[in-house]
Amino acid sequence: MISILIPVNNYDIVALVHSMRDGLEKVQEYCEILIGDDGSSPDFRNKYLQLERAGVKVIVSKKNIGRAAIRNKLALEARGDHLLFIDADTMIQGTAEAYLLKWLPMINTSRVICGGTWYSETAPGDPDKILRWKYGRKIEQRKASERNKHPHSGFSTFNVLIEKSVFAKLRFNEELKQYGHEDTLLGYQLKKAGIDVLHIDNPLIHEGIESNREYINKTKLGIENLSHLYDIVTDKRSFSSAVRMLRIYNRLYDFRLTRILAGIYIHYRDKMEIRLDSANPSLILFGFYKVCLFCTFREIHKRKQIIPIF
């Protein structure tokens, strides 16, 4: 049996849950929908609780415990022997029945299966959201054939079916309280454990497009998390080989360029962010910005002190 797990914080999932519940009634291999309310406001929590009925249950955390912890909590509560994690800010392409059926032939093929992420072909009407959409279309939206070339690097819990016994052994690292790179670590752990990841073309559309400024701020949190992860993993060489940002950083470090790039970030951060927070942001600049930001966090974490640059 398969449990559908939807972690959420202050996001309207009424239409998504109604659609999934309709699919649940038609595909008997799915036994439940668990909604993980991670510290949402009372108004949103009431909306989630109103969705409860046969086959739909809300797991409430009154305080925000973080993306990793709420997913772990949902997995512990799930009755199914397979877990289908989907993010709250998604929309189904076609019918829920077709989406749910597409996973079933693959269950005996792999213990971890990623369905993929898709973005609307039409740019957001609000130019203030163009950076997130542009990055999603160019970087995150990839066919399964491409993702399967480096399956563990492409691992994502945005839309993934995972055997419960596998998840129970690894789980998300709850030290990561803020946004970013929980998937990177779990994908690395799967690789270290010798567990294959299969990618298929069964994508969900990512609807939750943040504003340029919100996405830049989230990027900062994610890059800080990645630097923290680099400090706590035991096999740094193996972890670095699995993460593109770390491969770039180590090459720059060999050429003694990392402190220069950290200096560029500190001095030119505002100018770069103004250009990124525009109606026509450059993804090349965004990539350079992230490398400079990572170099800055490495300097901070190596010195074990906080420099007030943000």
Please report the pLDDT score of residue 172 as a whole number.
83
- Cβ neighbors of 170 (< 8 A, separation 6 or more) are 186, 189, 190, 193
Give residue-wise pLDDT tens across range 102-147: 999 999 899 999 999 999 999 999 999 999 999 999 999 999 999 9
pLDDT value at 307 more than 50: no
Higher-pLDDT residue of 235, 36: 36
Model confidence, pTM: 0.92
Q: What is the mean pLDDT of residues 140-159?
A: 95
CATH 3.90.550.10 maps onto the chain at 2-209
CATH number for the domain formed by residue range(s) 2-209: 3.90.550.10
Distances (CA, A) of 248 to 156, 195, 231, 242, 291: 21, 26, 16, 11, 8
Q: Which two tokens stand for residue 220?
A: 């900062």
138, amino acid identity: K
Please report the pLDDT score of residue 171 as a whole number.
86
| Chain position carrying tokens 């202050």 | 10
pLDDT value at 95 more than 50: yes
How far does the chain reach from its first CA to its final CA, in angstroms?
A: 47
Please report the pLDDT score of residue 178 as a whole number.
62
| Chain position carrying tokens 């999932």 | 13
Please report the pLDDT score of residue 304 as a whole number.
62
pLDDT value at 55 more than 70: yes
Confidence of residue 309 (pLDDT cuts 50, 70, 90): very low
> Beta-strand (E) ranges in the chain?
2-8, 30-38, 56-61, 82-86, 90-92, 112-114, 117-118, 159-163, 198-199, 204-206
Q: What is the mean pLDDT of residues 50-58?
A: 96
Report the DSSP beta bridge partners of residue 113: 161, 198
Angle at 175 between CA 237 and CA 230, to 5 degrees: 20
Please report the pLDDT score of residue 306 as a whole number.
45
Q: What is the mean pLDDT of residues 268-286?
A: 97
Percent of the chain surpassing pLDDT 90 = 85
